Amino acid sequence: MSPTTADRPVTGLWRATAAIVWKDLTAERRSRELLSAMLVFALLVILAFNFALDLDPKTRSSVTSGVLWVTFIFAGTLGLNRSMAAEKDRGCLDGLLLAPMDRSAIYFGKMLANLAFMLIVEAIVFPLYSVLYNVNLFLPGLLLIVLLGSVGYVAIGTLLASMAVQARTREMLLPILLFPVTLPVLIAAVKGSAAFLGGLPMDEIRPWLNLLVVYDVVFLAVAFMVFDFIVEE
Amino acid sequence: MTKTPTALKVLDAVSVLLLAVAAWMVFAYAPMERTMGLVQKVFYFHVAANWVGMLGFLLAAVAGGAFLVTARARWDLLEVAAVEIGLAFSLIGIVSGSIWARPIWNTWWTWDPRLVTVTVMELIYIAYFMLRQGIEDPDRRARYAAVYAIVGFLSVPLTFLSIRLFRSIHPVVITSTKAELSPKMFQTFMFSLFTFTVIFAALVWHRFRLGQLAQRIERLRLDRES
């Protein structure tokens, strides 16, 4: 908790959100444990795929988007688990709950911080993958899909992570809760990415883009509405 | 509370009767389908079972919302009942679909979008029970389960429905041949749907009462221990 928020009776939603994001980013900048773990893990997943799928140039083009997204969601789960567990274990969550602010700020703050971590990992994996496999991933459309997909994934992931962290089997529980629920986002993201990579016409990509946007909005809205019930004591 | 209410007994009897009539209609009343033959008869109960599964998940989401608003334990019990029965009926739907697919598609399983979404739906509600098991505090368990029932329903079942609605985006391989149903087939189909809905209501009621009894036992045990 930063002292500035404790001095005031009620902090506005956006100020509180910004404070939480800033807190998470600062903690990460000093410890660097989350990002490094996510990154190493992401690279290991890509390497594992390399052997498992025999990524020769021919098969590569058809599976690239799938490989990328599985890598992202695996690394993302790691980050989601860790970010909520850190709050719980060190009693920070109680501090956040006691803070005089709208509790949605906790959700949005954690969500944006998780999104930031995920985007950083993606920003590093993208050029690496491009170099390692000699494909150009830097297409504006693909970047948009990655952004939208990550938003949807993190939106529901942050909500479910804050539930899983309270359970006995938390590290195991999060992927089990999260993966099936997030499937619509994942399917749309994989299909959309593959369509951009394959250079398909916009007509065939738009349905996936629409689906992504719809689920981003739905997940964000629902998480926003129900988050209070999760942290309520 | 321990005695079965008369209305429920009547509902039980009606369900058994309706099921018998539905079975008779499927095998004797509805005409034999020309190309698929006998195996087409799976269709009536297959769709009905899936319909009940969907109904269960919808009811669970509604009960979850009601629980979050009112915080009354009965909504939680209703939610569990609905999920459990929805899960069982979706499984019946998958298995009966497989039985149909074996001779018609020449395989037990294909990765058609609808089959995938139904399977993932099962996984969501299995995860729902794992979530419930993982949390000890009953109040928190009920709240989290309610949230998950809502989120889960918004995710995959909605996708499943949208696949049906927006066929232009997703190819639909399974054809229900609805347009080609003869009047007798259509009547049998509607009657099966109705029958399964009544069975669903009876089962939910039973499961709800079971939940109430379990809750009472838990309370008695806690009283004795303290």
- Check CB contact under 8 Å for B144 and A163: yes
- Check CB contact under 8 Å for A166 and B127: no
A217 — contact with chain B (CB < 8 Å)? no
Measured CA distances, A73 to A114, A151, A178, B15, B95 (Å):
12, 12, 10, 46, 31
Residue A136 inside a domain? The answer is yes
Domain ranges of chain B: 40-215
Picking from B24, B29, B22, B28, the residue whose alpha carbon sits closest to that of residue B184 is B29
Q: At what angle do helices B138-165 and B113-134 cross, to 10 degrees?
A: 170
Rounded to whole angstroms, the Cα distance separating A158 from B104 reads 43
Would you write out chain B's pLDDT as a tens digit for each of its 226 residues? 578 888 899 999 999 999 999 999 888 888 877 777 777 888 888 889 988 999 999 999 999 999 999 989 999 999 999 999 999 999 999 999 888 888 878 888 877 777 888 888 899 999 999 999 999 888 899 999 999 999 999 887 666 766 665 543 434 434 555 455 778 888 888 899 999 999 999 999 999 999 999 989 988 988 888 7
Of A176, A179, A215, the CB nearest to B130: A176
Task: Kindly identify which residue of chain B lies nearest to residue A230, measuring between CA atoms.
Answer: B144
Of A173, A183, A232, the CB nearest to B130: A173
Q: Any idea what DSSP says for residue A137?
A: -
Rounded to whole angstroms, the Cα distance separating A220 from A214 reads 10
What pLDDT score was predicted for residue A9? Answer: 55
Of A160, A180, A229, the CB nearest to B156: A180
Of A166, A168, A177, the CB nearest to B127: A177
Residue A21 inside a domain? The answer is yes
Which residues touch B47 (CB under 8 Å, ≥6 apart)? Answer: B93, B176, B189, B192, B193
Residue A3 inside a domain? The answer is no
How many angstroms separate the CA of residue B151 from the nearest CA in chain A? Answer: 7
Residues of B in contact with A184 (CB under 8 A): 155-156, 158-159
Measured CA distances, A40 to A8, A32, A34, B99, B114 (Å):
41, 12, 10, 45, 36
How many angstroms separate the CA of residue A176 from the nearest CA in chain B? Answer: 6
Rounded to whole angstroms, the Cα distance separating A44 from A125 reads 11
How many angstroms separate the CA of residue B164 from the nearest CA in chain A? Answer: 15
A93 — contact with chain B (CB < 8 Å)? no
What pLDDT score was predicted for residue B211? Answer: 92
Q: How confident is the model at residue A70 (pLDDT cuts 50, 70, 90)?
A: very high
Task: Kindly identify which residue of chain A lies nearest to residue B67, measuring between CA atoms.
Answer: A229
Residues of A in contact with B112 (CB under 8 A): none
How many angstroms separate the CA of residue B22 from the nearest CA in chain A? Answer: 35
Of B148, B150, B155, the CB nearest to A184: B155
A230 — contact with chain B (CB < 8 Å)? yes
What pLDDT score was predicted for residue B74? Answer: 92
H-helix segments, chain B? 6-24, 42-70, 73-104, 113-134, 138-165, 183-225
A221 — contact with chain B (CB < 8 Å)? no
The total of structural domains in chain A comes to: 1
- Check CB contact under 8 Å for A166 and B135: yes
Give the structural domain span for A118: 12-231
Rounded to whole angstroms, the Cα distance separating A74 from A80 reads 10
Rounded to whole angstroms, the Cα distance separating B174 from B105 reads 10
Residue A1 inside a domain? The answer is no
Rounded to whole angstroms, the Cα distance separating B61 from B153 reads 6
A55 — contact with chain B (CB < 8 Å)? no
Residue A6 inside a domain? The answer is no
What pLDDT score was predicted for residue B171? Answer: 40
Instruction: Kindly write down the DSSP assignment for every residue of A168-192, as one continuous string.
Output: TTHHHHHHHHHHHHTHHHHHHHHHH
Q: How confident is the model at residue A137 (pLDDT cuts 50, 70, 90)?
A: confident
ipTM of the modeled complex: 0.87
Residue A143 inside a domain? The answer is yes
Rounded to whole angstroms, the Cα distance separating B47 from B44 reads 6
How many angstroms separate the CA of residue A30 from the nearest CA in chain B? Answer: 33
Residues of B with CB under 8 A from a CB of A: 68, 117, 120-121, 123-124, 127, 130-131, 134-136, 140, 143-144, 146-148, 150-152, 154-156, 158-159, 169
